[in-house]
Structure 1
């Protein structure tokens, strides 16, 4: 349930259960080699607040809302994008066939209703709306959906191909019906279409722009793309052609890039921005005590992890190659690293206990969680050293970890350095600008990288493209036949209980070889000034601003 604000106070928190379902810091921070001292403090209130509703309060029509964005989005192309921050922007300009709501349920958006699946699971029929119009005036219909899905499946470098499963054909028998045919059943389709795979692009714009679509995206949304100033801002404005234009209040939204969490917080305090994502757990307790500032917070379907390059020699999605290092070739080295990590201490000391330890791609709050998927390797540095001795490597074993150059990420790596030292590891930290780090990860130009995934409502979206041989997001270059089989079987299975068992076994296979070592699961901490409402953030990590508005009374 979305929490409703009761002025002049902060919004009333509403509990929610997850259903099926991080500016550079000083170099001294990295070199100190000690875990931040933990002081006594109360545990944070983790009650979910997923939105601040307008309710019956009067709104001031118009205005430019400014959101402080913690990293620069990659290209605004639904087919190739891999950044959470791109999803923030695209959420307002490029609606999807489906979405999730505050409870994590899948709901129609540009689709007219949930898909109809044939008895054999091979034919999926999606009724679509015919009232929307693209921002360039092109009518929205089933043919446009087909054009988008075919691009996702065929474009070189597509990040959506794995998400859509073993499609054999996509067609539009009429303007309001899309039919997708499968080689084998594919249960995660609806969830995939509630993310970038379901963002429908204007066929006219695709014809004109081709692979340059991301420079000037045209879709259906409450806003339309206006301008991008690299490394500075992205601006969108109200689309008068939007089918629900009467529900849109703002004239424009400017996403201003502010990578330093302290700067985001300062701009929120001053009122220069009205919304700020990814507040630092180091700051949030004090910030939300200030008059006029509220906090949205929710758990996450996703994770943060260290990914080891075990075979990514030609880029993610390509056949794995051989990397001749103990880290890449010997699972005992990677298992030792996992055992050396004290996950509880990391989230407590670095993130003030706002975040939660994570040991797999599957949240314990998911309806697909099992004892196997929630099992966590113990913190056992003695056993870690034994495994390194068995692997015959020199101790301390040196690993270079590339990481985003934000203060929280660097603080994490400092603590991680200390955490794994007793287990026989020497972690060398290499800070990299976030968008560059995404490219490094894709190319395979790393030994280890610390990044995360914002999460999807269906476990397939958190596992298949990362863990399948040749998966579009398989940055580790890992290949395991049993994992491939489990991913495929789980996608084909329609019984949720059986799917849960398969994902539990997949977690066991991954933890046996550790191409990724999962560390923690964030809470989405979004600050806002209380003169705005209609802001929402759900467990997919995306802040939704399409229906946001300034309050006529300034929030009084």
Structure 2
């Protein structure tokens, strides 16, 4: 959705986020709220438009791929500058791509694993050599793996780049006060500066949706991101507020630890817990949950129950058979626990974020699972801490979600491939690995849909990432603001935003 009313130049826009972003480093970051901040200061080689199509951003045109699929050539715009004044050229792109691929702890490593080498073959020409054909590549370069960082800042700050981020974007970083605000200002050297109207941009983490709504009503903030269904219904009655929404490419669910003993991306090990030892226990846990009831009780029926990684909005979704989510079956769940020979109730520590919505999800799951023979202890914690804990493998179960990508590989490989960069579950399944490799290398859309249909089923059979629902992207803004853009990736784009004339 796009608001196209004319706007005036100047002013400060305050955007409330549902949580505090993690690292402001495109190589290391994992959160949707962080991607929203990046959208204002770190552009990518490619982007997606309102129709979900990939379009050039820092690149001058869509990439050219050789007949064998092993060489991809990217032509860059010339005359672009990073926020620190460094010029963007092919060598700076090479530096960023290799950092995304090779930096220890990089969340982009799995996405760029097929990248064999990258070289500057001209001042503004980059040539990527692949280990095998890699169909998802353009989608990968339309997200954080395609963000290009100033080589000057990278050399000066290293891993501390997160506190001094410098990219090409409409706004440039000013300061961050942890838990309170991230401040950006208009970059006068930005190539499209004449389309940027605001002087400053402030992102404020406000986890409670009702507090975000109250701040919208008072005028303390002008945009509320990831608004909950309860607050959306309330906002619809406000004459001074406007609603933006779009379907989601992602999912929300529950992640179970089946082998994360050394940390995300490390070699899986053995965990001595009923959930990790026996898939029947995990299936029983899933069967204890009623997705429809969860959606109605927690989200007033405004989200969509889900049980797989491929969103209906995905680029190949029309060809993938719709999954039939398993219905709640307490009797079968109890039978599976008995067959597994585990002592009941099975105790599970369930880590959830401190937002009211996550707390309600935890409480509903806790009550449902109790009837099937599970004793769930809820452990609420701040979202960034939750990520740290689960990445390290310090958990039994946690609320696991992803904002989603157009290509289904972006919803699967990094999370479920053995030693994937964001595989916090410690899952290692040879069949899943094989299907991921096949899906990445296959260019024929018909064959890809078959592969991802089979892959989705294999993922469901593992019962390690239990998909529960798909959010809709709800953003509420005051009517005094125009020029906001909200697409299927869930990002709040404010490059052209400003106050109405």
Q: TM-score, normalised by structure 2?
A: 0.98
Residue 320 of structure 1 is matched in structure 2 by: 268
Residue 170 of structure 2 is matched in structure 1 by: 222
Residue 345 of structure 2: which of 396, 410, 419 is its match?
Answer: 396
Residue 53 of structure 1 is matched in structure 2 by: 4
Deviations 1:177-235 (A, max 9, x none): 11110111111011011110011001111111111111110000000000101110000
Residue 418 of structure 1 is matched in structure 2 by: 367
Q: Report how far residue 51 of structure 1 moved.
A: 2.3
Residue 338 of structure 1: which of 286, 289, 299 is its match?
Answer: 286
Deviations 1:288-311 (A, max 9, x none): 211110011111010011100000
Q: How far apart, in 2, do the equivalents of 1:247 and 1:365 lie?
A: 30
Q: How far apart, in 2, do the equivalents of 1:205 and 1:314 lie?
A: 31
Spell out the pairing of 1:107-506 with structure 2 (5 A cutoff): 107-369=55-317, 370=319, 372=321, 374-506=323-455
Deviations 1:397-438 (A, max 9, x none): 221110001111101111111222332222211101111001
Deviations 1:366-421 (A, max 9, x none): 24235546232222111111111110112222211100011111011111112223
Contact map agreement 2:315 2:407 (CA 8 A) in 1: no
Q: How far apart, in 1, do the equivalents of 2:44 and 2:320 lie?
A: 34
Structure 2 residue 498 is matched with structure 1 residue 549: yes
Contact map agreement 2:348 2:397 (CA 8 A) in 1: yes
Aligned residues: 500
Contact map agreement 1:334 1:515 (CA 8 A) in 2: yes
Q: How far apart, in 1, do the equivalents of 2:471 and 2:215 lie?
A: 23
Q: How far apart, in 2, do the equivalents of 1:422 and 1:511 lie?
A: 23
Unpaired runs of 5+ residues, structure 1, are 1-49
Q: TM-score, normalised by structure 1?
A: 0.88
Unpaired runs of 5+ residues, structure 2, are none
Q: Report how far residue 451 of structure 1 moved.
A: 2.3
Q: How far apart, in 1, do the equivalents of 2:2 and 2:296 lie?
A: 26
Residue 71 of structure 1 is matched in structure 2 by: 19
Cα RMSD (Å) of the superposition? 1.1
Runs of 4+ in structure 1 deviating by more than 6 angstroms, as ranges, are: none
Q: Alignment partner of 1:161: what SS?
A: coil
Q: Report how far residue 131 of structure 1 moved.
A: 2.2
Q: Alignment partner of 1:422: what SS?
A: helix
Q: Alignment partner of 1:66: what SS?
A: strand
Q: How far apart, in 1, do the equivalents of 2:144 and 2:481 lie?
A: 27
Q: How far apart, in 1, do the equivalents of 2:373 and 2:56 lie?
A: 51
Deviations 1:226-259 (A, max 9, x none): 0101110000000000001100000010001211
